[in-house]
Every structure is written in C-alpha cells, then in structure tokens.
Structure 1
Amino acid sequence: MRGAPTILHLDMDAFFAAVEQAAKPSLRGKPVIVGGLGPRGVVATASYEARPFGVHSAMPMAQARRLCPNAAYLTPRFGLYRRVSDVVMGLLRELSPLVEPLSLDEAFVDLRAGGLEVGSAREARAVGERLRRDIRAATGLSGSVGLAGSKMLAKIASERAKPDGLVVIQPGTERALLAPMPVRTLPGVGPATAQTLRRAGVATVGEIVEAGEAELVRLLGRAHGTALYTMAQGIDERPVVADRDAKSVSVEDTFDTDLTDRARIHAEIARLADRCVERLRKAGRSGRTVVVKVRRYDFSTLTRSETLRGPTDDPAVVREAAARLVEGVDTTAGVRLLGVGVSGLADFTQEDLFAQAADVLHTGRPRRPAPPVEPAAAAGEVSGNERRWLPGLDVRHARYGPGWVQGSGLGRVTVRFEEPGSPPGRVRTFAVDDPELEPSEPLPLPTAQPSEPAIRPKVISSPDTEASAGTSSP
C-alpha cells in the first residue's frame, strides 16, 4: 500500500447521456435514457434527471419507459462517444504514461509514474481539480475523481464523489472508512457472496474483518475468503496496468422475437461472423478460436468453441466454423440471443496451407478468396422498401441544415433542427423517403457548457476523508 494518494480513478458522469445532452440543446436538464430501443433493449446510461424515477443502467428498456415515460429515449452513438473518450484519455496521459482504461468513460491513473509530486491529500486534490477543469474545458462534460493509495480505494472514492465531485482518501484511514460500508462495496462480492455472508451475520466490511480469515475461508473457500479478508482491511496491491491487451473480439444481438427457423439462425450467425471479422480487421488482429454464444428462450446460455489450425481473419473461415458450432445446439424451442466471437488473438494470420492443398487435390483449384466484409447498414439507409430513422441519430436536410431524429413511424420521421452550442431548435416532420433528408456524421461538442443549474452532489465530510464537490468547475 502506498503512503500517498497517488492512484487516481476517473469516472465520467452518466457519460453517454451527458454527451447526448451536450450535443442536443433541447435535452439539457431533462431526463435522457440511452440504450437499445427494441422490446428487449436495455438501458446503457440514464441521465441524473432520469434516476429519481428509478431508472438505472442494465434495466430493461420496457421497464424504464414505464417508470419515466416522458424521457428522451435515444440510440447510442458509439462513434461520437469514442471520440470524446479519446480526448479525455489524452488528458489522463498528460498526467502519467500509466493509464489503465476500463471502458470509454472510466480509467485508473498512476500519478507516481508521471513524476507528479503528490505527497499529501492537498497536493492530490489539486491534481484532481485541475483534471476536472481540463475535462470540462475540452469536452463540456463533468467527471468524478477519486484519489487513494490503491485502485480499490480510488474507485470507492470516485463513487462517493458522484456526480461532479472529488474525494481523496488519505492512506492510513482505510479501515475506518471501509468498516461501516456494505459488503457489496468490495470488488468480487456479488449477490451470491453477499447472501452467504448475510446468512452468517456479516453485513458490513468491518464485520468481515471481525469474522476473521479462517471463518471467511470456511464460508467462501480459500482463494475467495483470503482475498476478501485482505481487501476488507483496505489492502490492495494491484498495479495500474497500461494498454491492457484485448483477449477476444465478439459481437452479439438480442432479437425482438425468439428465432426458431434454422435457416434464419444460420443467416444471423453468418451476419454476426462477418461483423466480428470486421472488428478483428479494424484492430489489426487475427484469432484461432471461434466461439458461438446461444441464449435460448428460457434464458439458459450455451457457448461452443472450435480452435483452428492457425490464426485467421478470413470471414469465410469464421462463418464456416460458427455454422458448424451452432449446428450442434438445439434451437427448436427458440433463441433470443446469438453471438460470435474470436479469441486467441495474434498480430498476424497463418494461412491454412493444409486446407488449401486439400482444395487443390480435390477440386483442382485453390480455395476462392472470401468476399470482403461489408459494413453494417447505417440507420437512415434503406431497409427493405423503407428508410429507417432511429431516435437520436444525426441527419441533415438540404433546406433546414443539421438536426437529429426525435422519432419515426407510419411513414413519417420527426426531426429537431439544432446542433451543439445552438439554442433549442424547431421540430419538423417529413416523409421517411424525403430525398432532401439524409444521415449525417455527429458534429463536434462545444468546448464549454452553457450556464445551467448544476446538479450538486452531496459533500462528504469525514475526519478521515477530504472531499470537494462541484466547486471548481467553471
């Protein structure tokens, strides 16, 4: 454990929803929910205005609509989120070369590796406040920052700082801070572990320490029990690891209605295999193990895998392997989700020379090269006989300029014409096949938010924890 709070954890506040509010002036200060909009979609992010209604991430979208019917429900724009994330991660790398991204909106930073003089909570807080100011200036968004002597405590600190705040946990105060917290605060404690501990009369982190290591090993097994006892004392020796290498690439889709037709299932598997290879190629990687995931009507989930002779990025090879794998799964009762993945990644491809030789031997000619992987159709392009316009996505009209889709149906599409930094715009309705309306790329976010009442987090006051909340953002 470090003697100074030199590990920083940044968690952007309601990131996807906040980006949408920054890009769409009419949504600022209003409930915004981003996620899958189909019958089986789930919430990816809910803005802070939506959370008092009980909406949270990973909730079924249908339930969110019942709880908060007047919210704006938007399709994710991952390309825009990734661009904003790149700006934020760039600011983190200015602090230190040791940055460990956990997702688009969350990362650990080892300040000591950046040579920053952070010997006290006051110096750590100054670094965190400067970072929050820089993020707001560059993106117009807010982030919550935690600083501590370990990754576990830095993440706990950022959770306590939300939204738009900063908490510093001084080394030496960990046990007193953790003691009253629920056991679910600790990493690796899920519902099953929490229930086992509850049955034994253990509900808080302090009670884990009181129970002792031997009792935890008896309840949870040696590895889990020992690790939990160590963390409950505030001890976490995990280093910040930069540029964690991806171990697999995968894609999956949940279907609005269960699939029972085998031909349709094989067609979806082929489509998913092509999307997976497209991602693989964009990453400059290949892989040797193909994995198929099938979630059936009763939510039971099966995975099947096949290891090839060598790494490949050939879509035909991945499609064939995935088809063989799904053929061995009983799907007669219905399938709600399918997925295709490739693992065992490498930076090169190794042609299957034996298979090519076999093709020459049996057919007199080498295997034909696979057709190129086609990118997935963008929303707004023709689907069947009608163009599809998904809520939240960007459009441009020849006469009215840039805007975004508010909704569509019955052959009509409603568009609000506004852009980042503009006043709230007007709404107009068009036929879905209006030749003057076309999909558009997202416009850049403004570099500073217009002045609005900020959502002010609760300031955490503790003799062992230094905190500030929303006090240094412009």
Structure 2
Amino acid sequence: MDAFFASVELLRYPQLQGLPVVIGGSRHTPEDEAALIARWGGLEQIPLEAFPRLAGYVGRGVITTATYPARQFGVGSAMGMMKAARLCPQAILLPIDFVRYRTYSRRFKEVILSLAPVMEDRGVDEVYIDFTAVPGGQEEGGRALAARIQQAIHAKTGLTCSVGVAPNKLLAKMASEFQKPRGISIVQPQDLEQLIWPLACRKINGIGPKADARLQALGITTIGDLAACSLPFLVQHFGKSYGAWLHAAAHGQDERPVVTESEPVSMSRETTFERDLHAVQDKAELGAIFTRLCERVAEDLVRKGYAGRTIGIKLRYADFRSVTRDMSLDHFTQDAAAIRRAAGLCLKRVPLQQRIRLLGVRVGALVAWENGAPRDAGEVPVASHRSRPSDPFTAPLF
C-alpha cells in the first residue's frame, strides 16, 4: 500500500491532500475526534491553520509514516520527530490510529482475496499474491490482473497501492518499489541486468546495514557487483548459508512459496520513554512500565490463543545502542507474572549504568494454546539447551 497510514488519514482529512503530513507521537482517541467534530462541524471542515505543525513538536516520538510530499524533504518512517521537525517544520502532525489502520488493512486484503485467493499476509500494509492459477493472471505478463486489483482496492477503500510482478517473491518485492505511488512494475528473468543489477545491494530484502557495510568494504556496491562475485568468494567472506543466499539473490533466484497460513513466532511490546530513565534513580517508574509491558504481552497471547517459552527483553540506551537478552523456560506460559519473572532475570544480564530510552519485552517459541494446554500436543518441543533452570538471579531488578 502507498504510504498506508498517511493515506488512511487523508481519507479522514481530505483537505490535507498534496501536503507534507507525518503520523506519529500521540495516539488518536474517539474523544478527541468527537471534540473536533463538535467544534468544526466535521473533520473535513477543519481549516489548515488549525492543524498542529511538526515545528511545534517537543518530545521523543518517532515518525510512523509520512506522505510522499513530506518524504521529499528527507522525512521518513522511524525517524525521530525532533529531527524531522528540522527537515520539514511545516509538515502537519497527526496522531496514530491503529484501530482505523487495521480496519482498512482487513478491507484491502478482502478485496485481494476475492480476486486472487492465494495471498500471503506480510503485515498491515503488504501482501504477496500468487497469480499462477488465477484466471487471467498471466495476461500481459500479469499487468492486467495487477491493474484489476489496484482498481478494486481503490473502489472499495479509496486507497492506492503499488504492485510488483515477477517470477518470485524476492524480485516482486523489489519491483513493488519501482514506481510508487500507484505503480505497476514487471520484472522478468531477462530484465535482471537492466532493472536489478544497477541497484544498490540494500535494495535486496535481507541485506541490512551491517551486511551492506561489509559488502562495500569489499568494493561491492551494486547488485551487479554482487552477481559478479563467485560463490566460493561469498562463502569465504559471509559463511556457507548467507554467502549462498547472497549469490542466489543477486541472480534473482528465490524458491520461497507464497504461504497462505502461518503462525506467529513471537509477540512483543515496547515503549520509548518521554525522557531517558535510570535503573536506580527511576527504579519505581521503570518497574511499573516493565510490569505493564509484560502484562500487555500476556494479554496479547491470551487474546490470540498462544503461549511461549522464550522470554526476552530489549533495551535502547540514551546513545541509541541496543541490547537484547533472552532465556528459555522448561514450560510454555501466557501468564503475566511468569513472563515478568523471566524478563527480570534477563534484565539482570545487561549493563544498566547508562540511562535507558526504550524498553521492550518479547515472548517467542510460540505454540497455539487453548484451555491451559497446546491445541496439538505434537507441537510441543522438548526443552532446549537455552533453558536456565539454575539461573543464579532470583529477583528482577526493577
């Protein structure tokens, strides 16, 4: 989907079309919306000068997404809002409304499923679709069906999307970014040299900043450079598995199927603080936040019907360095108190001298859970070597 959260907001505030808009900071509430309607007679009646501007933002929030006019100023997702305010102070700032975004996410996916039922859900705003057996799916190399999907989504939701059509998921993902917004891009195997090889290695989904830095240190800056490397060379520098994957990806090879049903591997909750907190000086406040994160993860597990046995924590310090720790229990749980105890043990294993700007809790190694037991007893793995029944820490720090 094209700038999905921002596009959903523009349906609510059509007067903001064509303007730099960022989504982030506070959360939208029905009470706030009711007050705006009462004051202005309708959300679409709010004058532009009444909207808050990014220049006035003070805090530690990050941008969730931005409209394309805002992106022209260098503003993007996950950027600190104070930094974004320096780049585009005139941008309009809107609160986040995840309930509304999830509603529109379900709507556009229902449209797709009505036309092409083999769909892999990749989050709130992205899917993979297998055109292979869909009637008309091969017309014009897939362009005809892609256009029908675009038109149907717009007719049903008012939103636009960009579609990449290719022989596999790796190339389709890359192609979907070629002509945003409202684009349809088709990549065939014979197009690799012209369309894919000139791109930076980071355009391959799976090459992160660290791997890219290592590639650049070897003089490999484009996908074409990567494709020119021999398999033994890449295995020597990146290991057998990742080196082989790099070699295949550079040549446009990807055998992953479109998966229509999948189970989550973990659930997590995290929060960024309004100010940096210290483990000793702000112990009470951190403790309350930590407990609430564990409770929210437990609530998610219960609501969605899962339990897990790998408990982990994530910290981001004031200097933006991040650390994670986890441990595996010898049993599955969806209990908040048990998650809190295990997460507290993980917390004991990280340095806490610096102030902290973010704290998160994660539960992994999930199984479907019902009435206090796995839905399928065959799903339950044995305890792994990561279990720590004799962990020396007996109480959480916070």
TM range (shorter): 0.7 to 0.9
* Cα-to-partner distance string for 1:94-117 (whole Å, 9 max, x where unaligned): 2333211222111101122x5334
Provide the residue aligned with 2:137 in structure 1: 118
Is the aligned partner of 1:314 residue 2:303?
no
Contact 1:99 1:108 in 2 (8 A): yes
C-alpha distance in structure 1 between counterparts of 2:77 and 2:159, whole Å: 19
Which one-letter code corresponds to 2:152 in the other structure?
A: D
Provide the residue aligned with 1:161 in structure 2: 179
C-alpha distance in structure 2 between counterparts of 1:101 and 1:339, whole Å: 25
What displacement does 1:329 show?
4.3
Which one-letter code corresponds to 1:67 in the other structure?
A: L
* Cα-to-partner distance string for 1:395-434 (whole Å, 9 max, x where unaligned): xxxxxxxxxxxxxxxxxxxxxxxxxxxxxxxxxxxxxxxx
* Cα-to-partner distance string for 1:58-83 (whole Å, 9 max, x where unaligned): 21111111111121112211110000
Closer, same or farther: CA 222–304 of 1 in aligned 2, 3 Å: closer
Which one-letter code corresponds to 2:276 in the other structure?
A: D
Q: Which aligned pairs between 1:125-140 and structure 2 lie closer than 5 A?
A: 125-140=143-158
Is the aligned partner of 1:289 residue 2:314?
no
SS at match of 1:184: helix
Provide the residue aligned with 1:335 in structure 2: 356
Is the aligned partner of 1:22 residue 2:40?
no
C-alpha distance in structure 1 between counterparts of 2:351 and 2:197, whole Å: 49
Provide the residue aligned with 1:33 in structure 2: 22
Aligned pairs, number: 338
- Could you say which structure has the higher helix fraction? 2
C-alpha distance in structure 2 between counterparts of 1:293 and 1:234, whole Å: 34
C-alpha distance in structure 1 between counterparts of 2:336 and 2:236, whole Å: 49
Contact 2:8 2:159 in 1 (8 A): yes
Is the aligned partner of 1:108 residue 2:97?
no
Unaligned runs of 5+ in 1: 1-11, 352-474
Out of 258, 264, 270, which is 1:240 matched to?
A: 258
Provide the residue aligned with 2:97 in structure 1: 77
Out of 246, 254, 274, which is 2:295 matched to?
A: 274
* Cα-to-partner distance string for 1:202-241 (whole Å, 9 max, x where unaligned): 3222222223223323333332222212221222211111
Closer, same or farther: CA 329–198 of 1 in aligned 2, 3 Å: closer
C-alpha distance in structure 1 between counterparts of 2:227 and 2:326, whole Å: 42
What displacement does 1:149 show?
0.7
C-alpha distance in structure 2 between counterparts of 1:198 and 1:289, whole Å: 35
Provide the residue aligned with 1:145 in structure 2: 163
Provide the residue aligned with 1:463 in structure 2: none
Runs of 4 or more consecutive aligned structure 1 residues displaced over 4 Å after TM superposition: 327-330
Is the aligned partner of 1:42 residue 2:62?
yes
**Greater displacement, 200-209 / 268-277:** 200-209
Between structure 1 and structure 2, the one with the greater Rg is: 1
What displacement does 1:49 show?
1.4
Out of 61, 82, 92, which is 2:81 matched to?
A: 61
What displacement does 1:328 show?
5.0
Closer, same or farther: CA 264–328 of 1 in aligned 2, 3 Å: farther
Provide the residue aligned with 1:299 in structure 2: 320
Contact 1:108 1:240 in 2 (8 A): yes
C-alpha distance in structure 1 between counterparts of 2:350 and 2:225, whole Å: 46
RMSD: 2.2
C-alpha distance in structure 1 between counterparts of 2:325 and 2:226, whole Å: 39
C-alpha distance in structure 2 between counterparts of 1:118 and 1:25, whole Å: 34
Query: TM-score, length-normalised on structure 1?
Result: 0.67
Contact 1:117 1:123 in 2 (8 A): no
What displacement does 1:132 show?
0.5
C-alpha distance in structure 2 between counterparts of 1:47 and 1:327, whole Å: 42
Unaligned runs of 5+ in 2: 27-57, 374-398
Contact 1:311 1:350 in 2 (8 A): no
- Could you say which structure has the higher strand fraction? 1
Out of 345, 354, 365, which is 1:344 matched to?
A: 365
C-alpha distance in structure 1 between counterparts of 2:262 and 2:199, whole Å: 30
Provide the residue aligned with 2:233 in structure 1: 215
Contact 2:128 2:169 in 1 (8 A): yes
SS at match of 1:160: coil
C-alpha distance in structure 2 between counterparts of 1:219 and 1:304, whole Å: 27
Closer, same or farther: CA 327–193 of 1 in aligned 2, 3 Å: closer
C-alpha distance in structure 2 between counterparts of 1:293 and 1:135, whole Å: 37
Sequence identity (%): 40
C-alpha distance in structure 2 between counterparts of 1:132 and 1:152, whole Å: 21
C-alpha distance in structure 2 between counterparts of 1:234 and 1:126, whole Å: 23
C-alpha distance in structure 2 between counterparts of 1:234 and 1:215, whole Å: 18
Contact 1:146 1:161 in 2 (8 A): no
Q: Which aligned pairs between 1:391-406 and structure 2 lie closer than 5 A?
A: none
C-alpha distance in structure 1 between counterparts of 2:115 and 2:24, whole Å: 32
Contact 1:286 1:345 in 2 (8 A): yes
SS at match of 2:186: strand
Which one-letter code corresponds to 2:110 in the other structure?
A: G
SS at match of 2:162: strand
Is the aligned partner of 1:205 residue 2:240?
no
Closer, same or farther: CA 325–179 of 1 in aligned 2, 3 Å: closer
Closer, same or farther: CA 341–191 of 1 in aligned 2, 3 Å: closer
Provide the residue aligned with 2:2 in structure 1: 13
Provide the residue aligned with 2:249 in structure 1: 231
What displacement does 1:321 show?
3.1
Provide the residue aligned with 1:385 in structure 2: none
Which one-letter code corresponds to 1:342 in the other structure?
A: V
What displacement does 1:131 show?
0.5
